[in-house]
Amino acid sequence: MRRLLIAGNWKMNKLQAEAREFAAQFLPRVSGVEKVEMLICPPFTCLSAMQSSLAGSRVVLGAQNMYGEAQGAFTGEVSPAMLVDTGCRYVIIGHSERRQILGENNFVIHKKLAAALENGLRPILCVGETLQERENQLAMQVVQEQLQQALTGLNFPAEQLVVAYEPVWAIGTGINASCNDAQEMCLFVRKGLESLFNRETADGIRILYGGSVKADNIAKFLEQPDIDGALIGGASLEAASLAAIVGVGENVK
């Protein structure tokens, strides 16, 4: 049975004091949560603050990005070992904002995935299509290419990888994919994983949905058989909001 994962991606938001205040408000609200795995991915500057604030709790720390090399002359980059040293257990890789705004391609993402896995991090691989690609009936082709080019040649236990399906047109727009559309694509992702690896591995990998997820719409997504949680942006910035989403997850499935 795959455990639900609710992951908050703060993107480029919050200073250290704000991160500590979030933890102070969030942790009491989720102290009784047992079924849902909870993950916070703050900006790099808040990782140390969150590591100390989350110590002793059930909330796990992750990062939003990393570089695919162990060390070297890569000004401004952060290595997987540095993330592990800061207490991270997860790292988001290939988010659409990095693909669309910063030009990351599938080959760069493949290198990052390999480095993350080698260092014991659990990568959350983001895949998804733009509105134009969906309207042109290319959504599945795009997602299939993203999976194949990012994952081919990698070996890992199923529990070490998470895939997040995020339709680019639904991120931060207030527009949601329908629960049926999300389930269809998450099932397609699972079948794609099966073709790359095997049925057992595909069945063990958690697949998240992301795209304007909130407490009032998360239940219909979590009820789908191939959706194992959510990667949440704006709604994760407020402690009460994220705690409400976690609470829905605790009572679903």
- Please count the other Cβ atoms lying within 10 Å of the Cβ belonging to residue 74: 11
Contact 232, 7 (CB under 8 A): yes
Contact 50, 41 (CB under 8 A): no
139-to-85, 129, 190 alpha-carbon distances in Å: 38, 5, 15
Q: Is 135 a catalytic residue?
A: no
Catalytic residue among 95, 104, 110, 133: 95
Instruction: Judge contact between 239 and 36, C-beta under 8 A.
Output: no
Dist. CA 146–CA 155, nearest whole Å: 17
The question of whether 21 is a catalytic residue gets the answer no
Q: How far apart are CA 192 and CA 92, in angstroms?
A: 20
Report how far residue 25's alpha carbon sits from residue 196's, in angstroms, rounded to the nearest whole number. 42
Residue positions annotated with a catalytic role: 95, 166
